[in-house]
A = this chain, B = another copy of it.
């Protein structure tokens, strides 16, 4: 079973926006065993949309996702393009319009403008699905190919995927892709070196991929027309990899690092507070991305200025002037003081230089210190990264969470 993904938007083919919807759908389709054979990006133009929809139909595609171009403005032309391809007129749905109105009233508190009415038009024979996270309903046309037309806002694509998932069949055996193992605290090339003895035993039909991802390394196996014996052998090898590298493995089923940390804290009934400087709130934001994090996350201090470090956490001026705000001593102090002040079990402190300014020969941009304390023990780590400001912030947050994860795991 094959699928095609067609992303519509002039912003995509002029490079104004980088697509994430196709990547999202590829991943989801592969997990169902469906091969996304055709992935295309085209501008908001009726003729082009119609032409490629007809082409994909003629290629015998089973499932076609068309993403984007369902907005209320006149430059959004996906519904017109599909109507032309299938030679079906657009029909207004009172029911869809009611749904749009209700959503608009609930969110904005006013009636939607007249141009939103556009979003209640669908090609004849389509069934629509109300949107609970935006205005544009999705719609489905029976095939072949079965066509799913979704708005292009990534969160809305996710929302509709969860709605539509059960309408899309599972086709095991067509294409194989293992779950993704995620590692932290170890580099890509060292990881591969440690894995080599296992990888050499992989059946020929199985290939592997290492993806470095801001201090994490992701790993998976994949292949087409892989026999069940070969899959079994591959999974056995994966199990051995997991055992051998357990101390760096934080995720086997796609969880994020902050999710893995949340699970550890919950299981052990621990509460945490953090003090971050250079990351400006990013570590707190990642920790609180997890539903239910209020169970273990008490508070954070973004002690950006030295005044804040002194006033809020009582870091002694002597420490700051002798060792500097970016130092092992300050990281240790932040971790221990924030733990004590918030009256929690674990304290995490981060201080570094994200750049572009503020660096020196001795303390260059990209330097960060992380401290973790549980009251009886404090661990500090020093990392040096080489990115721009935003990259460094991401690396710093990752380093802080990695240090915390390893601390909790070893505790």
Contact = CB atoms under 8 A, between A and B. Distances in A.
B16 A355 contact: no
B308 A212 contact: no
A197 to B, nearest CB: 14
B298 A288 contact: no
A210 B386 contact: no
A260 interface: no
A91 B289 CA distance: 47
Contact of A289 (B37, B41, B284, B393): B393
Interface of A: 10-18, 23, 26-27, 30, 35-45, 48, 51-52, 55, 59, 71-75, 103, 106-109, 112-116, 132-134, 153, 155, 158-159, 175, 177, 180, 187-190, 192-193, 207-212, 220, 222, 224, 274, 276, 278-285, 287-289, 291-294, 297-305, 307-308, 312, 342, 354-357, 384-391, 393
A108 B291 contact: no
Given A73-B210, A280-B287, A284-B304, 11 more contacts: A14-B26, A16-B211, A40-B40, A71-B210, A75-B208, A116-B189, A133-B387, A274-B302, A281-B288, A281-B302, A284-B302
Contact of A30 (B14, B74, B75, B291): B14
Given A180-B16, A285-B280, A37 B30 contact: no
A75 B222 CA distance: 11
Contacts of A389: 289, 291
A108 B383 CA distance: 8
Contacts of A299: 301-305, 307-308, 312
Nearest to A12: B39
Contacts of A224: 10
B288 A155 contact: no
25 contacts: A10-B222, A10-B224, A13-B35, A13-B37, A15-B23, A15-B30, A18-B23, A35-B43, A37-B43, A37-B45, A38-B52, A39-B40, A39-B42, A51-B59, A73-B189, A103-B386, A116-B189, A133-B391, A279-B288, A280-B281, A280-B300, A285-B393, A289-B393, A297-B305, A300-B304
A155 B391 contact: yes
A168 to B, nearest CB: 17
B192 A44 contact: no
Contacts of A30: 14-15
| Residue of A15, A107, A188, A193 with most partner-chain B CB within 10 A | A15
Contact of A113 (B190, B281, B393): B190
A11 B209 contact: yes
Contacts of A207: 10, 44, 75
Contact of A107 (B59, B211, B385): B385
A298 B304 contact: yes
Contact of A16 (B220, B274, B354): B220
B48 A115 contact: no
A93 B112 CA distance: 65
